[in-house]
Amino acid sequence: MAKAKEQTNYKVIAENRKARHDYAIEYDVEVGIVLQGSEVKSLRVNSANIAESYAAVEDGELWLVNSYIAPYLPAKTWGHEDRRRRKLLAKNKELSRMWNDTQRKGMTIVPLVMYFNHKGLVKLKVGVAKGKQNHDKRADAAKADWQRQKARLLRHNG
């Protein structure tokens, strides 16, 4: 009963759907995000975009760059800048692993989904990924088509 109640508070704010198409994601990490009050209010009414954003490790800190959180109109005097850099909170072990992967292996850190967790806190799932070439994208599309066709055949014949 308690688990069912926890899952009801989970709410997706913004999702980067093109990330899985453009990148081969090696692993993902859940990180916190430092926000201002007006940003949280704005996120509660579903106005954010992380599709064009990326994360970067700079000076031992993780930053979310170019994410958009719409201005919250009732807080126009003490509002927030909509495309400011936002600090991400990760454990030191995860941070050093991400930094090593981006420096040595040529990978990037891509935001996948921003959501409210069951406690009502804003979290961001970031993936450490390598960019896909066009032929990789075509192969993935062909594989997905075959899986869809196979499921359709099994449904009609079974």
Tens-place pLDDT, residues 29-64: 999 999 888 888 888 887 788 988 989 998 989 999
Among 102, 125, 129, smallest CA distance to 112 is for 125
The answer for residues whose C-beta is within 8 angstroms of residue 86's C-beta and 6 or more apart is 33, 34, 35, 63, 64, 67
Amino acid at site 89? L
Kindly give the pairing relationship between strand 122-131 and strand 23-33: antiparallel
Q: In whole angstroms, what is the distance from residue 15 CA to residue 50 CA?
A: 7
Residue for token pair 């390598």: 130
Which pLDDT score is estimated for 5? 53
Tens-place pLDDT, residues 99-149: 998 888 878 999 999 999 998 899 999 999 888 777 777 887 888 888 888
3-state SS assignment for residue 101: helix
Which pLDDT score is estimated for 88? 94
